[in-house]
Amino acid sequence: MTPEDIAQSLIDINPKLDRELLIKTLIFAIDAHKGQLRKSGEPYVVHPTNVGKTLAELKMDTTVIAAGFLHDVVEDSEYSTEEIEEKFGTEIAEMVDSVTRISDIQKGIDRTARTFKKFLAYVSKRPQIIAIKLADRLDNMHTLQYLAPERQKAISKETLDFYAPLAHRLGLYSFKFELEDLAFKYLNPDEYTAIEKHLELTSKEREEYIQSIIFPLNIKMNLEQLDCDIRGRSKHIYSIYEKMKARGCKIDELYDIFAIRIIVNQIADCYMALGYLHNLWMPLYSRFKDYIAVPKPNLYQSLHTTVIGPQGKLVEVQIRTKDMNETAEYGMAAHWAYKFNLKKEELEKNMDWVNKITKMQNEISNSTEFLGFLHESLLPEDSYAWTPQGKKITLPLGATILDFAFAVHTDLGLHCLGARAAGKVLAIDASIPTGETIQILQSNSQEPQETWLSMTKTQKAQNTIRHWLRKAITTQSMLLGKKIWQKELQNLKISNVNSLYDADICKAFKVQNINAFYENLGKGEIPLKDIFTFLKQYSDHSYAWSKLKLFNVFSSSEDSPISIGYNERFLLNYASCCNPLPGDLVKGILKSGKGIEIHKEDCKILNKIPQDQLLALQWEEPEAAEREQKCVLRVEATGRVAIEKDIFSTIAKYNALVKKTIFESKEGRVNGRIDLLAFNSAQIKNIEQSLQTVAGIRKVVVS
């Protein structure tokens, strides 16, 4: 085909395209790629031509299609971005430059994180390059068979992990399904072939069944004088595989591997069609979703319902208007056409997800954490709930009350005790009830625990918890380090410290400031014998050498003990060999990076530990609000398997110490008494509220 023929074929798709610019950029691309061949052996220019055709089908304007024709020119020829700008203008040149830079990053080290960060940085400025990059990836996936097997798998994995979810996020479902199937073909060829073969063998039977649904539906709609278009299709291979995996069944055990789509003229007709459909076949109300009233973040709107169709088989049906169907086919790209002919507020809404990601990549410096957030943000968002103020919060499926609290406000998450929804009190790790209004319960005395990380699904919540814990551990490490240091000064009878003292410490222990020294000491990074070696030059030598002769190395184990308690809780690790409790006579071992491992004073393990590694400890008398508290929980529950295990698991989440338990079962009921030792009243309150949400528990009393 000549450039004129190609341009005409695109204008046939979209009559509003600029013929002259299409021909001009095509001629330039043909010249730039002259003599270049694809791995398949065909002329390279076929690839950018295919990209342009896909962009035309997405209703992109001429500048985007032109950039698609030219997207590989700078990378694969001697032409520069400046030359493209001179010939075709700044807008086209910037889009080509963005796609080129992304391709360059993909060839480098740390490819995944850097590529996607750059990709999103460029997307925030020119969203159209998403369409170019997706069209580019789609065409490359169609010629993947010509690459080496390891490259096939690597590219397919990247496609399944990033590009297919990206297409889903933007509502480009035709892209999503095709990319998924092509990637799945190379990642799991045996399963792909088995499903493909089954679909081929059953195609006639399946088509007959689809017609057995469409035929009576058409009659019903005609009788009701509802103008509509009814279509049926089989589901895509990868989505069938996902259903098999989720349900743990074989393909011949799946009945809902096809879907019916009803296209109507206006929104009111959607609900009328739904009623007529439910008149014909019984619906499964648990699988009904109204994405018209509450659209998906990618602007998708439709009614989804599942009915028990002919022969008792489940049939999924989607009902939507023609405009909704166009958005479902082309996603946000349908709104990007013709140079964003949208009002400012509509454009900002369409770009909300991209802007959110761009903001977060500036806040998350760690590549692994950013990729986790990116992967999570690309997941389908099927869970949503409302705040008491009427704000909708959308989260990935499986998100918890803690995730919801952090999504509403950081402080609300940090002090979350649980939630109240639909008349029930929910624990912090409970899944959010979709569609409900959720009131978060909070207390200023509540603080994050390490166990919270396993209770959350969203990267925002996890990053905030990690940041808070790092800050808390740093603060507690400095306080503990200062305690250890001051105690050693006291033990060695050192009282006169001159003005150069801090500088001497920092130099000796190779830290930038005195707080960093205290932090390292509190975390156990500095051995106690190194402290003595440094301090003996400031001490009374006869005293120091007498201790050295007695223990060979300095030990603080026989000197004044260090007080520990709630303010060091993140650095206190209770040894499992002797199970110490607050209030016991204890000694400690400084563990590098962990703080103090606490043992009972008579623990046999201590006999194997060098004296220079031991710390004399005592439990401090804390503030009233932070004082360790003994309490008794009395639990009444219906008898069921593993009820005791669930009770202990709930208590363990809050780091309270169980001292004694008594459980009695009688006539289908369980009565339990649990003696606890907690750091503060907030812990006890949290445990009480969480236990009330455990299935089977009828009553919890604290005394």
CB 289 within 8 A of CB 304: yes
pLDDT for residue 476? 87
pLDDT at 319 over 60: yes
pLDDT tens digits for range 54-91: 998 888 889 999 999 999 998 888 899 899 999 999 88
- Output the six-digit token pair for 330: 């082309």
pLDDT for residue 500? 45
Give the H/E segment covering residue 305: strand 303-308
Q: Under 8 Å CB-to-CB from 565, ≥6 apart: which residues?
A: 582, 619, 620, 622, 626, 628
The candidate with the shortest Cα–Cα distance to 508, out of 526, 481, 487, is 526
pLDDT for residue 346? 44
pLDDT for residue 349? 47
Between 501 and 573, where is the model more confident?
573
CB 679 within 8 A of CB 566: yes
Between 368 and 159, where is the model more confident?
159
- Output the six-digit token pair for 383: 């869970």
pLDDT for residue 125? 63
pLDDT-derived band at 256 (thresholds 50, 70, 90) equals low
Amino acid at 547: K
pLDDT for residue 33? 92
**Lowest mean pLDDT segment, chosen from 491-495, 500-504, 541-545, 645-649:** 541-545
Cα distances (angstroms) measured from residue 569 to each of 57, 263, 279, 447, 588: 61, 61, 62, 12, 14
The residue ranges of every structural domain in the chain are: 3-146, 197-334, 345-374, 465-621, 625-702
pLDDT-derived band at 680 (thresholds 50, 70, 90) equals low
pLDDT for residue 608? 84
pLDDT for residue 106? 47
Distance separating alpha carbons of residues 240 and 222, to the nearest angstrom: 33
Between 632 and 567, where is the model more confident?
632
pLDDT for residue 674? 83
Amino acid at 420: R
pLDDT tens digits for range 327-345: 777 655 555 543 334 344 4
pLDDT-derived band at 189 (thresholds 50, 70, 90) equals very high
pLDDT for residue 498? 44
pLDDT tens digits for range 16-52: 899 999 999 999 999 999 999 988 889 999 999 999 9
For the chain, how far is it from start to end, CA to CA, in angstroms?
A: 86
- Output the six-digit token pair for 567: 């303010």
pLDDT at 622 over 60: no
Distance separating alpha carbons of residues 177 and 167, to the nearest angstrom: 9
Radius of gyration (C-alpha) of the chain in whole angstroms: 33
CB 126 within 8 A of CB 94: yes
Query: Is the domain 197-334 a CATH 3.40.50.150 member?
Result: no
Question: CA neighbours within 13 Å on the CB side: how many for 39?
Answer: 12
Average pLDDT score over residue span 371-375: 54
The candidate with the shortest Cα–Cα distance to 161, out of 220, 113, 194, is 113
pLDDT tens digits for range 547-577: 443 333 344 444 578 888 777 777 888 887 8
pLDDT at 412 over 80: yes
pLDDT-derived band at 9 (thresholds 50, 70, 90) equals very high
Average pLDDT score over residue span 601-615: 81
pLDDT over 90, % of the chain: 23
Most confident of 44-53, 128-137, 490-499, 685-694: 44-53
Residues designated as active site: 75-76
Question: CA neighbours within 13 Å on the CB side: how many for 158?
Answer: 16
DSSP 678-690: ESSHHHHHHHHHH
pLDDT for residue 360? 54
Q: Which CATH number fits domain 3-146: 3.20.20.120, 2.40.10.10, 1.10.10.10, 1.10.3210.10?
A: 1.10.3210.10
pTM score over 0.75: no
Angle value at C-alpha 165, between 160 and 168, nearest 5 degrees: 135
pLDDT for residue 263? 95
Give the H/E segment covering residue 415: none
pLDDT at 219 over 90: yes
pLDDT for residue 168? 77
pLDDT for residue 133? 86
| CATH architecture for the domain at 625-702 | 2-Layer Sandwich (3.30)
Average pLDDT, the chain: 79
